Structure 1
Amino acid sequence: MTNGATSPVTAATLKVEHSPLLSPTSSQSVTETVNGFHRFVIQGYSLAKGMGIGKHIVSDNFTVGGYRWAIYFYPDGKNPEDSSTYVSVFIALASEGTDVRALFELTLMDQSGKGKHKVHSHFDRSLESGPYTLKYRGSMWGYKRFFRRALLETSDYLKDDCLIINCTVGVVVSAIDCSRLHSIQVPVSDIGAHFGMLLENMEGSDITFDVAGEKFRSHKLVLAARSPVFRTEIFDGVDEQKKEMVITDLEPRVFKALLHFIYRDTLSEDAESVESSSASLSSVSETLIAKLLAAADRYCLERLKLMCESRLCKNISVNSVAKILALADEYHATELKAVCLRFAAENLAGIIGSLFMC
């Protein structure tokens, strides 16, 4: 073959490549942020103040974009040159990583209800400066002069010796995305809504529960499918044709919330609204969510038990941890028990002090 000659195969290939019958292919590169939020509550600010320049209080680690992060609060400033009269706040990369690009927002919350929060946002300046790059574990972004200490201590940001710092992290990720070019959106499951309607209209109900004189109609198959205990009590008993059962160990409101979960797979509104006042914490075992935890354990509803544990976990404090730990131990709530023990270990001095004050 002479130089410059074209083989029949190459000619055919070139002809096909320019054929108008072929559709062009395409791809799309999408760069966006994976965002996450963490609230850091600093209780006992007056005790932390004076710990020394460069000394810090650190939040628990939280995960955003596949990386762990932590908030560092310096009540006496990060260093004497720039911030000895200021409090300093930083967000730090707490896991291994190199050249992690991210945007940040640190907000000091106004606790007066006026909504005049102090916001330092990297998101607002991202078009000008671009994301910040953290090179290694321990790299930080933040403000040495976050807020002048004298002003902070007379402001609405400090209430009952407590500060609240909200932190938003947006980790920058890039990917080739074909789904956005040709996508079909699938709605979230609505099976709970359909079963919830079944509970409300009672169509086809075949069993009635008597709970302290209050009647609840239900469906044997639904109960048996959700709870092995109900399945045994309904179908493995002497009389499988029984139409009514008496419940003696639950209050009507607790049994109603139990049925709500069994049919809808969610907590009822009453169970969701757990109070966090000191009055309610003094009698935590009498709250609906605590009694629902007991019912979940009684009927082997593990998902409901975890939901109750999650709600009770939000009410753990030095005053309530002992009572909540007792509940967790009694009703085999292993996740809640582990959280209580960890909290007790980290706040032992405060718990001992609260016992002497009682």
Structure 2
Amino acid sequence: MTTAVVEPPIPDSISTSVIETVNGSHQFTIKGFSLAKGMSPGKYIQSDVFSVGGYDWSIYFYPDGKNQEDNAMYVSLFIALASDSSDIRALFELTLMDQSGKGKHKVHSHFDRALEGGPYTLKYKGSMWGYKRFFRRTALETSDYLKDDCLVVNCTVGVVRARLEGPKQYGIMLSPSHMGQGLKDLLDSEVGCDITFQVGDETFKAHKLILAARSPVFRAQFYGPIGNNNVDRIVIEDIEPSIFKAMLSFIYTDVLPDVHEITGSTSASSFTNMIQHLLATADLYDLGRLMTLCEVFLCEELNVDNVATTLALAEQHQFLQLKAFCLKFVASPTNLGAVMKSEGFKHLKQSCPSLLSELLNTVVAVDKSSTRGQSNKKRSASSVLGCDTTHVRQLRRRTQNR
């Protein structure tokens, strides 16, 4: 089943507004902290001016606090706009450095938490952001933040700026990628091929590096610790030539190949059968994307004639999602009877008898789901599914006698 993909129209021009922060830091060291005691509230020690985001900034440290009412019980710490500018939006981080080496810094930061009103706005030169009660003075004097009568403060400023990318006029149209087709042409032309595969009566040439780049199995075979990079011919058994050809096509193009073209058949059943074999081969060579593409196709094309063989394949190769999808399909009230009469179901009973128990459990689960809310009615799985009761009895008997 093919799904049409509608490409969005290519615009004549584009533009993008990017809102971001321009970050910068400044470290301010205060030596002789004890001598600053008694400066009185409102008196400060100022750092040198530093620039971030095109604006000047300065750190203000108040040894006896910024306010009279705190009675010098706290030290205050602020960052101030030093440029003659207005309405500057920014994020801030003020850090009192732990000098013991334990890394337990005292950090007040906007960067790791959302602000209720967004970034802080500094209205004019001299506007400040910080903490009047940054740290209790008595605690600071006996802490690891003070060493050799020295304090270290680190300040980070993130200035919010919006920049416009574009508008960009498209003078040259960008063509779609043709990498896959280019690699496929390389495979078809056999230019530079250094490995030949004998698959049945047919031979296929390929490139070791491309195979190794796409498949961990080929990588180990050619370049692994016990691999052989000098090998130039490999005989492949138990894989049909058409399946191997389809796998090579995917390896070079990353696209599920046109199996109709490879097989020359238009039969839906033969197409599904080939996808089943291709899925098994993809598992053998650890081609994850190919496995997924095959599983998706088999789910989309599932019917009463092919579900049993698909379920057997999923069980043997442990494709758990595909297996679960198949079990639910078989257990559907409209499908169970027809599936159990199919040739594929006979093969399933012989190749994977353990699946009968799981199938019965799925049937029971479907039964319970369909009878939910009708607590006074007890119905058998066979009556719910609308199939001949002998089928269900046979299924249960085979499960019990395994």
TM-score band (shorter)?
0.3 to 0.5
TM (normalized to structure 1)? 0.43
Query: Larger radius of gyration, structure 1 or 2?
Result: 2
